[in-house]
């Protein structure tokens, strides 16, 4: 056996050799082995000491030098606490007036409301809905979770925060304050999870 094989590979080779030797010994004529009694289920085999390991190799624990990705779960994980808190901030602003270019704390446009809400949790987002639509992780409409950002129109010109149950909280237009609307009330473009 070559000396460059690791200890575990050498042990595997020894075990394979022992198994093969036992199989051959079982079929050898009775002149080389003592015949087993007819009722015995197995034969005894003598294995030369050259095939036996001399001393057990020390156990070596594997070393992981890079993080291991968690296994995929069958059910989605719970939304992040910061994302849910940002959603609650936005819900707390229901009734605040819409004002184009406003980013709170008393008036908002759509991206201003989202930026303000996430900033309260220490999460910095771009200022415009179009820029926001390119950050984070893409999410399909079918897999939305509360706290996800939802974008509307083509090109993107509106953003809202998904709150669950097919509804979003958003600062819609100058004729409406911050409110809750049905997700289906506007043409869906994409969604992102931050």
Single out the catalytic residue among 86, 89, 107, 110: 110
Annotated catalytic residue 158: yes
Single out the catalytic residue among 115, 158, 189, 193: 158
193 strand-pairing partners: 137
Single out the catalytic residue among 145, 170, 192, 193: 170
State mean pLDDT over 23-44. 46
pLDDT of 137 over the 80 cut: yes
Annotated catalytic residue 170: yes
| Cβ-contact 104, 112 below 8 angstroms | yes
Comparing CA positions, the residue from 113, 78, 84, 83 lying closest to residue 194 is: 83
Domain residue extents for the chain = 81-193
* Chain segment 44-68, per-residue pLDDT in tens: 545 445 444 555 555 555 454 545 4
CATH for 81-193, options being 3.30.70.520, 3.90.1720.10, 1.10.340.30, 1.10.260.40: 3.90.1720.10
105-112 contact pairs (CB < 8 A, 24+): 108/171, 108/178, 109/171, 110/158, 110/159, 110/160, 110/170, 110/171, 110/172, 111/159, 112/171
Annotated catalytic residue 189: no
* Chain segment 57-116, per-residue pLDDT in tens: 555 554 545 454 443 433 444 458 999 999 999 999 999 999 999 999 999 999 999 999
């Amino acid at each position: 056996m070559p000396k460059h094989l690791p200890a575990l590979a050498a042990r595997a080779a020894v075990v394979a050799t022992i198994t093969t030797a036992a199989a051959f010994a079982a079929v050898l004529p009775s002149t080389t082995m003592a015949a087993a009694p007819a009722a015995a289920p197995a034969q005894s085999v003598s294995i030369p000491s050259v095939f036996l390991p001399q001393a057990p190799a020390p156990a070596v624990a594997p070393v992981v030098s890079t993080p291991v990705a968690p296994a995929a779960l069958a059910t989605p994980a719970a939304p992040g606490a910061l994302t849910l808190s940002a959603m609650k901030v936005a819900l707390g602003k229901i009734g605040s007036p819409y004002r184009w270019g406003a980013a709170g704390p008393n008036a908002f446009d759509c991206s201003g409301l989202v930026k303000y809400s996430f900033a309260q949790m220490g999460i910095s987002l771009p200022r415009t809905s179009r820029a926001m639509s390119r950050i984070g992780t893409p999410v399909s409409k079918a897999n939305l979770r509360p706290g996800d950002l939802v974008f509307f129109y083509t090109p993107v010109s509106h953003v809202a925060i998904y709150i669950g149950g097919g509804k979003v909280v958003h600062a819609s237009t100058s004729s409406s304050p911050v409110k809750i609307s049905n997700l289906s009330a506007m043409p869906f473009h994409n969604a992102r999870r931050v």
